Structure 1
């Protein structure tokens, strides 16, 4: 047995999936970005029944309604984590249970993109489940312990996100609502709308890209939807580009953005974004 070293050629030939968070205020058109993705290679994880803007989209959809359902789906997508014990989520035993419930994992082979809409709704589903667990009750009095619920919530959310992070050959896009508030010094602050503070704080360190979708003026002074992609931006939007290939402002086209990050690809598999259809006029107006 030898040290499993990857050569530069081997690493460059690997198909690398992008893990990204797409943030934006309600109604800016986040869900409609599905129209820019190849439908036959995309699985839509619809968590908030907000698919009215993409009702004519031809891709496949799953609709987990509870946290255990979503957690099993994450295990099914990501496979077992060999570093975990058999009583922990995403271990080998959990993966086997997920396969018994969801079927042959090869059915996911055709999907290259998982579009999770939204992480805001997902956090609410997770917290609702956490409040029913023993950790959410005081050991001494048996009364609800909100601190215990939030602690469990943070562990569950971060474990799920990190498990999806290690799905190397797939793109995973988390959609989230962008929240605007004013701090004690009367400064505008933008942050992801996610139940519990820890998940929102650790999320940028887990994913590769944090993209804010916003309506910004163009050279003619007209508002148009754009992606803000760099941390240092004049609006204070949460953004991050680990690839180093994105400009401060990119056109609001998620398919082209993934293509720009992924190119040049040395491996054989490529996404066929040419097959993605432009969004219908009515879909461009909604989320």
Structure 2
């Protein structure tokens, strides 16, 4: 009997559910909006029920914060999230109780980092950032996730404020922190500064250099903390074709040759897997891993 592996990419905007075969090729994939927990989880369960007979394991990569400590009483929960109605939701428990297979639970960015490392030859140390509606990062060191009692929250590290933002008294859009990376560089910060959605802002606007300044600081932090082989930037903000070179240029200026890194064109990159498929591939592999324990 052929084995199938399940992937749930639980995002704040949409859920992407997929099943893959033993070669991690997608058999079927579906996405739907993230509405109420009850409705969204019901649709997730209904999708996997169709493949239940052959399902060997499922991995869930979720928006957060989440509890990934197996010894915690709230393991599997989405915890204190700004996503309305989703705080303290037992995501893993509500899905897994419907199936007799093991589940792997991690962050959506960890899933993406795992998938990206899989397709990059010789890479077992990598950091993956998503720069979109929010900012998160997953880090892999020697093939294992970075984290102890919980997952990292790299999107909420503090960064040096750009002079243009300082002059305008702009402290960001994060409801928890003034001056953190997410508040200053995630998609909503563009509209907060300009009154215009990011995809409608002209490429020659100075706001892109402000944005790149913060994203480059994230790359500096990742370099100093983890010394990865590759830093991958995904998400809607980095889908702007001009952004990658802006970030690379500012990274080189900020690092100022302090540490040796690979050629910036090989070191700071966008995802190798098209259409945000990194998380799905990573989840298939994590589902297989948990099924074999």
TM-score by length of 2: 0.26
TM-score by length of 1: 0.26
